[in-house]
Structure formats: structure tokens, C-alpha cells
Amino acid sequence: MQYRALGRTGLTVSDIGYGAWGIGGGAWVGAEDDESIRALERFIELGGTFIDTARGYGRSEELVGRVLRRHEGEGLFVATKVPPKNMQWPAADDTAVEDAFPGVHIRFSLETSLAASGLDAFDVLQFHVWNDRWLGRGDWLETVQALKQEGKIRHFGVSINDHQPGNGVELVRSGQVDTVQVIHNVFHQEPEEALLPACEEHGVGVIVRVALDEGGLTGRITPETEFAEGDFRAGYFGGDRKQQLQQHVDALVQDLGVETDELPDLALRYVLAQPAVSTVIAGMRSVRNVERNAATSDRGPLTAEQSAALKRARWERNWYTPAE
């Protein structure tokens, strides 16, 4: 496992992180606690040090806390997120910060997360949505600073709205944030235009989510794939989207000259090739997936030919919106 600085925080984290959305139940169907805990333990055994969870991820904080308490003092770091009080994802331009993140809500959510996890503090507390219009408004910043002083959080970050990487650049430039979490992958390369350079310039740590496009870049989702009732991927890959995906994956694999099986490794290495990126939080509900993704950390840089082929695969779209 390789390690990188999480911006200017002073934390050094594994470049492959553990995304704990899928283990909490709810939006991802099929997680089993015993298997999730085995996967988390294997991640730590292989040198993984950064785990990302959220108040809105079902039982995720509880499971993460259960494992982390067994490894106290071993240099592990955990980030969680405060959901917006109005439960609006993404944050609309006309949403007032007082409706999304009033100070009393931030504090209550954090206290609830601490109780659920059994932890004394979180290394990073993130807002689960963000809008740059909130800069200089509300009491969120004062609350964050107070929580730092109280020792309940070490650093502050935001999880930028889906496919809106520009909606966070001003926050990065303001100096008021330590980390940003953003969707970035082979298909969605827009963060490379403004957000990632701004983060590199201002020493803001970058946590990349959805590096495998919710599974689309694993090569294992085909037009025949079916998802369980209640699984959010049924909507994400709804309509004719699985057919569209198959065409793009087939073209990418052909351009790379590799087997489909090799695609996830190359897709992760594409994101890790960006110098601003601190860690990539892959969802890993099984030991097998942990072992595969952890191995990517040691494989080194892409070739010039691989980088060029992956660049050509850019395909900007937002499938978190309903399929037509």
C-alpha cells in the first residue's frame, strides 16, 4: 500500500481508502455485517488507513466504529458526513445555508455519529452537500471551529454535489476547508479542469469517490444485469443506460487492448495519477474486492498509451438524475 498527504492536514493516508456507504444497508442491497467486518479488517491488514462513512449510510458508522475500536492507536483515520437538515441532495442554488447546515444541526449530527460509532472524535467532518453561495453566510463556520477546539473533529471538509466540481472552487480558495470529496473517474474528468488544480495550489486534500462509476467501470455490469428491489443502482443504470455503458466499456477495453477484467485496476490508477488526489475511496463489501483494489496501490504509473486511451474515454453525464 502506498501513502499520500491529505492536503495540509498533516495526515498521511493510504491512497486506496475504504468507502463505507455500501456496508450500511439501505441504498446498496445485499451487505451482510459479518462479511463487511471481514472486508474492513482485511483492508486494515493490507495497510489501508483511511475510511469514509456518513450519518446517512444506515449502520455504516456503527460497523466502522466497531472495527476501529479494535485498532485504537494503529494510525487509522475516519471521516464522516453531516446530512443537510433539509435532506436535499444536491444542494439547490436557492437553498439557504440556514436550512441545510445551521450550527445546532451540525453539532447534533456529529454527536449522534460519535454515539453510533463509539468513537471520541472524527479525523474529518464533512458536509454531505455544498454550495459556494454559502460562503460568508450562516453560523456553520463558527460551529466547525468550535468543534475543532473541543477536540471532537480534527479537520473539516465538504462532499461536493454530484457532477458539480466547479461548485466548490471558491470554498477551496477561501482557505476555510481542509478536504473536498468529489466524483472523479475515467468518464467524469471535469474535476481536472478547475477543482483539482485549485486544491493542489491551496493544499486542500482530495478524496475521490465513485472512481469506478458505481460499478460501471468494473466491466461487470451488462445489459442483462438486474439489481435487487430498493438498490439505488436500479435507477442509476435504468432505462437504456446499461446498453450505453456496454458500448463505452467495450470501446475503452478495445482502445486499451486489455481484457475487461483489467479495467478496474486501470480506472483506479487513472484517478491516482492526478497529483492533487490524496485517496480514492472504493466501495469494498468483500475481502476479494479489498484485495484487488489494495493491489492497485503498488502497481505504479500508467503507460503513456494507457493514459491517452483513458483520456479519450471521457463521457460526461449525470446518471443520478432519473432515466428518461
Q: What is the CATH number of the domain that holds 306?
A: 3.20.20.100
Three cell numbers written together for 309: 486511451
The verdict on residue 28 lying in a domain is: yes
pLDDT band at 21 (very low <50, low <70, confident <90, very high): confident
Quick one: cell of 234? 436500479
- The amino acid sitting at 170 is E
> Could you tell me if 73 and 88 are in contact, meaning their C-beta atoms sit under 8 angstroms apart?
no
The DSSP string of 86-129 is T--SS--TT--HHHH--HHHHHHHHHHHHHHHT-S-EEEEEESS
Tell me what the mean pLDDT of segment 253-258 comes to.
Answer: 98
User: E strand or H helix at 188, and its extent?
Assistant: none
Query: If we measure between CA atoms, which residue out of 4, 79, 3, 87 comes closest to residue 46?
Result: 3
Asked if residue 24 has pLDDT above 80, the reply is no
Average pLDDT (1-16) is 98
Give me Rg for the CA atoms of the chain: 19
Nearest to 302 by CA among 276, 259, 271: 271
In-domain check, residue 290: yes
**How many Cβ atoms from other residues are within 10 Å of residue 193's Cβ?**
11
For the chain, what is the domain count?
A: 1
| Residue 319 included in any domain | no
User: Which residue range is the domain that position 123 belongs to?
Assistant: 3-312
Instruction: Decide if 229 is inside a domain.
Output: yes
Q: Which residues contact 228 (CB under 8 A, 6 or more apart)?
A: 29, 30, 234
Q: If you average pLDDT over residues 301-305, what whole number do you get? A: 96
Query: Does 4 score more than 70 pLDDT?
Result: yes
How do residues 69-98 score in pLDDT, each as one tens digit?
A: 999 999 999 999 999 999 999 999 999 999
Q: What end-to-end distance do the CA atoms of the chain give, in Å?
A: 42
Query: What percent of the chain stands above pLDDT 70?
Result: 98
pLDDT, one tens digit per residue, over 199-216 is 999 999 999 999 999 999
Residue 317 in domain = no
Mean of all residue pLDDT scores within the chain: 95
Instruction: Supply the pLDDT for residue 324.
Output: 76
Query: Where is pLDDT greater, at 171 or 300?
Result: 171
Joined together, the cell numbers standing for residue 300 give: 505504479
At 160-194, the pLDDT tens digits run: 999 999 999 999 999 999 999 999 999 999 999 99
Report the Cα 313 to chain-centroid distance in Å.
Answer: 21
Look at residue 324 and tell me if it is in a domain: no
44 lies in some domain: yes
